[in-house]
Structure 1
Amino acid sequence: MSAPAFGDGNALLAPEKTKDPNKRRKPKNNMTKSNSSFISRVIINEAFSKKLSDRPSDGLFAFANINRAFQWLDLSSSTKADYLTKILFTKAHCLSHDVNLVTKSPSHIDIIMGFSTGEIIWWEPMSQRYTRLNKNGVINKTPVSQIRWIPGAENLFLAAHMDGTLVVYDKEKEDAIFSPEEEETKSNGEGATPKVVDHYREINVLKSVHSKNQKNNPVAVWKLSNQRINALEFSPDNRHLAVVSEDGTMRIIDYLKEELVGVYNAYYGGFTCVCWSPDGKYVLTGGQDDLISIWCPSETTLIARCQGHQSWVTSLAFDPWRCDERNYRFGSVGEDCRLCLWDFNVGMLHKPKATSSRQRGSVSSRLPMLHRAETQGTPASRLRSDSVVSAADGDEENRINHPVEPLSRTAILPPVLTKIADKDPLSWIEFTEEAIMTSCKTGHIRTWSRPSDSPAQTDS
């Protein structure tokens, strides 16, 4: 079943109709002629137009934020390092960016970038036009740790700010000074009941997507924590959001309903990265404890911990070309410069260690994940990431907040491959059909060819 659109039912969020539905709206300002103090310099390849016209239709673009520079690369080019565009920013560092897969076409790409100053840029590289949002931190002054387009949306994107707040923006709306709304309603009909905000809970809706006040940004604001959000990822069915934080928690949120579904705690320290399996059954988290955890949210169960890194895990990704209904392959990279590959299968669900990982007397692991939202009215104490509080008392809060599992009760998974992939700490991993791609913190992007019948291949 396809998920409804985010904000469905709120007519104020519907994109304006254009005369030509195939013609996309572009940002207001020309970046090459900008006199903004935010942008230091824009360098466009002298053969820009020729390179675009000559490239294959199935070629890959890459976008990379490196220090105070943002680069647009063509991976189908014989000279991959020759950027199509390079933007230098005066003081701010771009910390995260994302491409809108709904609006992309051979002549249009919508990109959002989040900066260390809290500001956001919407950029359309084909026309070199841009718009600044959250200018001077008018909505939130803290850095943007991660930014993502909301699945299926043309205009809406989600920014994770380092004060523990998630903010939904519309790329075409003007900004306004934000003040939390006292009463939020989740119904558009008459007699709508106010949404109760419990300040002891793990999510605090400061502005709902269903608010009638949608003239300006922000569209919605959710306060999750007083510590920084490190990463977030939407589920493949576009119904849930996994958010990991410096406070050592992973939160599963039904973002369509703006409700918390579950809170899972790290063994030690904060979580640094997160990703969903292609079928949405499993969630991976990497953390400051050098471990990768495999979670099954529908069973509220920790399946296994993966040991193989010798420092913080920085990025995770499933390999969709090596996953089926029973077997899963994923990769990870870390501060230890290692690239690790891992395999697991559904048979692990039946291992004694995995099934006994629930503490005695705890809430049944078979309770469907989506039913947990019903217990949200009960105040939940904030459990530390190293808490050993038992769920034996069966309190309602434990239906949502799941304490840390001891290592002795958890299956341990070793990597099937581990390799020193760079001399500098690694920061990103992604799979393509032909290769595994990694990047390091000094700006090298490496493409590792998959094994084939030909003689051994090395990284290109």
Structure 2
Amino acid sequence: MFAHPNPYPFNLRDVKHHTGTRQPFPASLKPYTPEPLASNVSTPKHRAPADIRALCDTNSVLPPPPRYPSHSGAYGAIGAGIAPMIETNNILSNPEGPEYQFLVGEGTYVLKEDLHLATPPPHPSEAPVVNPNPLATTPQPASAGTKLSLISLDVRAAPPFFYNKGANTSTTLSSSLGGDIQEHPNEGRYSTEAGLSSDGGDGRGASLSDGVAPPTSSLIMVSAPAFGDGNTALAPANTKDAAKKKVAKPKNNMTKSNSSFISRVIVNESLAKKLQERPTDGVFAFANINRAFQWLDLSSPTKADYLTKILFTKAHCLCHDVNPTTKNIAHIDVIMGFSTGEIIWWEPVSQRYTRLNKNGIINGTPVSEIRWIPGSESLFLAAHMDGSLVVYDKDKEDAQFSPEEELATTNGSSTNGESDSSTNGVNHNLKIQINKSVHSKNQKTNPVASWKLSNQRINAFAFSPDNRHLAVVSEDGSLRIIDYLKEELLDLYNSYYGGFICITWSPDGKYVLTGGQDDLISIWSVVDSAIVARCQGHQSWVTSVAFDPWRCDDRNYRFGSVGEDCRLCLWDFNVGMLHRPKAASVHHRGSVSSRFANPLQRQETTNTAASRIRSNSTLSGGAVDEDGSSIVHPVEPRARIAMLPPVSSKAVDTHPLCWLEFTEEAIITSCKNGHIRTWNRPTDAPVPTEGASQPS
């Protein structure tokens, strides 16, 4: 044995100050001299880089050791078995100061609180990635930033916006339209799957339904038919006892699960007491961060204490949604989509779950977006990263899936599977490839339906407020408007540059917003099948867009956006400030009104032409071309489209933002590092605004 060698590969006598002159070693300190090594051991001849030697001070004998080891094991453990401290609890803080305020026309928004979710370390069975190469071309595991699904179990009074003004808006609108307009023979009745939905205008029914977001039921004068209505194979087995039927619960106990998919479940020891004592109008939040999923009570003074925390072994939860149709104080249906392609249906009150698409038996690609079908108790739609949309039934078993030959048809403008459009440098598939139709008689197992839209990943989709249409955006830069009840492609638009990342509908269903890799938000008129404006204010990819229904009326709209530039932008627009493209550049169809059965849209296109941005007389009319070319809309040049600036632009985080939502009291944002920030709306009381951020 020999003495411990010098751990630093350079001689301390050679250390120089930044002046470059050699300094004598302090006489009071005896330098360390290692014992001679055996003759068969070579002495390393490495020297420290000049910048390291220059930073060393001769007043200290040895520089401090590195804080973290260079080669760590799982959970960051070093070879001796010592693991660094790992934060396992959420942290709630209340930052103050002018940098946590921003000024808009209506007043000053002030940061109320910052809830930082604990980021779980990798599972011990997962090999750590040492020195990852950012330029590597190998596929990286799918990941997503922190996103929230918000739900309130109480029905609050609806806020005063345009489509439910007055005490009896539904009656007033119906009388003004001359009675109900039926586009479907079964439309006048309420089916078991399609009652009046409380799905928000952005298609995220779980996010702010029935009490947090304004209900849109008054917008829907007549119920849309249920998805798959008319297919007896999807009808409930025993409708006579439907009223007495117990609410279906998942099969497995989450807390006692021995599944290798779930690593650990931590339930708050006071869960029952907390649920009993919470306010009835409080808001629950379900949030994902890496391989963890948390159930939070945002109305609790101790909101940092999660109600339940689930740690999965290796899979990351990428998306989730709550069913507003089945929610009550004793039952909440939550669905989660994972990076492995698997889906979990979880009921948090009873702590039970069911695992769907197990081991990717139906589709093995990650789930990028997942939503309950509006009005349905059991059906939900999942977007997979292979460009497929799959409808699942939470109560059905899974089976090996292959496209049904007799149903593997196309729907759209192309019948040969080839694209005849190459706008934006991308060849789009101008069809919906129906691998399984909702009208198929084979409905014993999942999937209920399966559609192939693109060869690239689907990033987001949103249901329209009338529960008839689906807007889908993809990595290939395409926006598709689909009549999902008929499984028919209606319109296909292309981005200015790059892929689309996020999408939402206006509360009245007239407009669609998209954000993407071109750093722009685009405003699309669904009725006119045209882009009406682009919004420029972000300096990086736009990751989330949402309307603020509390600041919308019949002609004015407020919406917000967040991006990877850490900025929150607020935007205002009205129909009078937008300049549409010239008639020659618009492939408009005269039959557009018949395609959209929303009564408000029907009313606008027939009775209020004067309030339109431009008259129908300036549009190129005509029916759909035989080759279906009017389905595809070319990219409009920037010079022909109105460019809107934001009314407010504020860097509200130090990390890239990934989610945004409006509530009656606040704006809530989240970032990729797990910070959930709540920004209170302006109040009547004066707020100190000295130093507050001005719109930029």
Between the aligned partners of 1:169 and 1:47, the Cα distance in structure 2 is 34
CA contact (8 A) 2:390 2:451 kept: yes
* Matched residue, 2:558: 329
Between the aligned partners of 2:644 and 2:491, the Cα distance in structure 1 is 24
Alpha-carbon offset, residue 457 of structure 1: 7.8
* Matched residue, 2:253: 30
Match of 2:523 among 291, 294, 306: 294
Q: Which amino acid aligns with 2:561?
A: S
Aligned pair in 2 of structure 1 residues 318, 366: CA closer, same or farther (>3 Å)?
A: farther
Match of 2:376 among 153, 156, 172: 153
* Matched residue, 2:661: 430
* Matched residue, 1:189: none
Does residue 454 of the first structure (1) align with residue 685 of the second (2)?
yes
Match of 1:14 among 223, 235, 240: 235
Alpha-carbon offset, residue 14 of structure 1: 2.3
* Matched residue, 1:42: 265
Does residue 2 of the first structure (1) align with residue 223 of the second (2)?
yes
Between the aligned partners of 2:660 and 2:669, the Cα distance in structure 1 is 5
* Matched residue, 1:281: 510
CA contact (8 A) 1:197 1:205 kept: no
Between the aligned partners of 2:400 and 2:271, the Cα distance in structure 1 is 39
Q: Which amino acid aligns with 1:6?
A: F
* Matched residue, 1:368: 592
CA contact (8 A) 1:303 1:348 kept: no
Aligned pair in 2 of structure 1 residues 443, 298: CA closer, same or farther (>3 Å)?
A: same
Alpha-carbon offset, residue 79 of structure 1: 1.1
Q: Which amino acid aligns with 1:78?
A: P
Alpha-carbon offset, residue 359 of structure 1: 4.2
- Residue 255 of structure 2 aligns to a residue whose secondary structure is helix
Alpha-carbon offset, residue 327 of structure 1: 0.5
Between the aligned partners of 1:416 and 1:107, the Cα distance in structure 2 is 43
TM-score (norm 1): 0.89
- Residue 33 of structure 1 aligns to a residue whose secondary structure is coil
Match of 1:121 among 344, 352, 364: 344
* Matched residue, 1:99: 322
Between the aligned partners of 2:679 and 2:467, the Cα distance in structure 1 is 30
CA contact (8 A) 1:147 1:160 kept: yes
Q: Which amino acid aligns with 1:159?
A: A
CA contact (8 A) 1:262 1:369 kept: no
- Residue 260 of structure 2 aligns to a residue whose secondary structure is coil
Superposed CA RMSD in Å reads 2.0
Q: Which amino acid aligns with 1:298?
A: V
Between the aligned partners of 2:281 and 2:274, the Cα distance in structure 1 is 14
Q: Which runs of 5+ in 1 are unaligned?
A: 187-195, 373-393
What is the correspondence of 1:216-231 to structure 2 with a 5 Å cutoff? 216-231=445-460
Between the aligned partners of 2:337 and 2:456, the Cα distance in structure 1 is 18
- Residue 521 of structure 2 aligns to a residue whose secondary structure is strand
Aligned pair in 2 of structure 1 residues 47, 371: CA closer, same or farther (>3 Å)?
A: closer
Which structure is larger by alpha-carbon Rg, 1 or 2? 2
Aligned pair in 2 of structure 1 residues 304, 19: CA closer, same or farther (>3 Å)?
A: closer
CA contact (8 A) 1:300 1:366 kept: no
CA contact (8 A) 1:329 1:341 kept: yes
What is the correspondence of 1:133-282 to structure 2 with a 5 Å cutoff? 133-184=356-407, 198-200=416-418, 201-282=430-511
Tell me the percent identity. Answer: 72
CA contact (8 A) 2:561 2:570 kept: yes
CA contact (8 A) 1:451 1:457 kept: no
Aligned pair in 2 of structure 1 residues 437, 15: CA closer, same or farther (>3 Å)?
A: farther
Alpha-carbon offset, residue 301 of structure 1: 1.1
Which structure carries more relative contact order (alpha carbon 8 Å, separation 6+)?
2
Aligned pair in 2 of structure 1 residues 165, 46: CA closer, same or farther (>3 Å)?
A: same
What is the correspondence of 1:332-351 to structure 2 with a 5 Å cutoff? 332-349=561-578, 351=579
Aligned pair in 2 of structure 1 residues 438, 21: CA closer, same or farther (>3 Å)?
A: farther
Alpha-carbon offset, residue 233 of structure 1: 0.1
CA contact (8 A) 2:408 2:435 kept: no
Q: Deviations over 1:141-174 (max 9, x none)?
A: 0000000000010110000000000000000100
* Higher fraction of strand: 1
Alpha-carbon offset, residue 396 of structure 1: 3.7
Between the aligned partners of 2:594 and 2:534, the Cα distance in structure 1 is 24
Does residue 74 of the first structure (1) align with residue 292 of the second (2)?
no
Between the aligned partners of 2:303 and 2:686, the Cα distance in structure 1 is 24
